[in-house]
Structure 1
Amino acid sequence: MNQQYIIKKGDMVLQPCNLTIGPYAGTCIYRYQEDNYTVKDRTHKIIERSCRFYGSSYVFKKEDTIRITGINSKPPILFTPLFPTYFFPTHSDRKEENTWINIHYVSHIKPMKEKKCKVIFVDKQSITVNISAHSMQHQYLNGIYYYYMMDRAAKVATFDPESPIDYSKSQINIYEALAKYSLFEQK
């Protein structure tokens, strides 16, 4: 079990899990094309630590999302624009069962009985979550909307709205990345 986990490139899901020390005391980390593993830390603690690591507080990241998108309930957050880290919550951040999912790895959402759903990822891994497929789809679309609004604003800020930022290049244009960071300044 790792300690002091920080969200990084390739992270698909942070899902609370039970440990011998208590319910939801750990976090199951799902990474792209890797085996999942458990971290002995609460999910919300990892989210807060990751926000600070990437230069802001969790509260400020939530406020940014609200300001940019108008999404007030269970807003998605962006940890860093340097690689795909747009995560959306499945529940309120006050609920211990809240799972965080990266929009870039979701393949599809499958409804299940008893208001549950299965989220299948692009690498064929999956998780089951205690919310309806409809609610999950809504949260997923909120994450996509936030991604779109950030991408559109960055294109306008770089004066090249026709050309998206290509994060797969070995060297990214630092001006493009800084343009996304500039969106977080208080207005």
Structure 2
Amino acid sequence: MRMQHQRNLVEEYEINPFTMVIMPTTYGCKTYSKVYETDDTCLSPFKPIEIIRKSCQFFGSSYEGRKDGVRQLTGITHKVPIPVSPTNYIYFFPTTSPDNSECIWLAHEHIVDYKKGDKSETTVMFTNKEVMNIPISYNSFHNQISRTLLVQSKLGKRLEDTRTMYVNFGKKMRASENQLDYGNYGH
């Protein structure tokens, strides 16, 4: 693992477009999160799942709401990828059950490449050219990538269909308004 930037302790942390990895780390006798961004690393006194939950709320939804929406949309029932902010293309996926204290969350958008690593690890290259060995088998990692792509695709299609429906509805409304004679109103 090469990512060895300065560790800044932050009290509050919301996932943002630069967030790449949220990894549990022991600090004293408590589980904190080591957060890797494209050009910095910081330490948060919250567990990774707590950062995911707070960030979902920051972007206008609950974690449970995002998870339930993905389940309904895709049928994925475990290790569910979370669209933290779909309008900002921020999608994270867990390496294990989110309830597992060893669960690492990765931002799909920052993964450039990945390959089998030693033992049951996957070597991941990120958009900033950093490389990290993640404790997850290659097949499980590949499956999580595929699931996240499925969520992005289905959610993106649904959003696009909704935009198209409203654009077409707006055109019909303007066309029908042009046929009305407003000059006779009020007389």
TM-score by length of 2: 0.79
* Cα distance in 1 between the residues matched to 2:102 and 2:87: 28
Paired residue secondary structure (2:122)? strand
Q: Size of the alignment, in residue pairs?
A: 157
Select the structure that is richer in helix.
2
Of 89, 94, 103, which aligns to 1:84? 89
After superposition, the CA RMSD in angstroms is 1.4
Structure 1: which 5+ residue stretches go unaligned?
161-187
Paired residue secondary structure (2:88)? coil
Instruction: Work out whether 1:108 is the aligned partner of 2:113.
Output: yes
| Residue-by-residue CA offset, 1:34-81 (whole Å, 9 max, x unaligned) | 022222221111111112222222111110000111111211011122
User: Which residue of structure 1 aligns with residue 70 of structure 2?
Assistant: 65
User: Which residue of structure 2 aligns with residue 96 of structure 1?
Assistant: 101
Instruction: Work out whether 1:18 is the aligned partner of 2:21.
Output: no
State the identity as a percent. Answer: 25
TM-score by length of 1: 0.79
Instruction: Work out whether 1:27 is the aligned partner of 2:33.
Output: yes
Structure 2: which 5+ residue stretches go unaligned?
1-8, 166-187
* Cα distance in 2 between the residues matched to 1:143 and 1:53: 21
**Deviation of the 1:3 alpha carbon:** 0.9
| Residue-by-residue CA offset, 1:57-115 (whole Å, 9 max, x unaligned) | 21111100001111112110111223121111111011011111111110111212221
User: Which residue of structure 1 aligns with residue 160 of structure 2?
Assistant: 155
Paired residue secondary structure (1:79)? strand
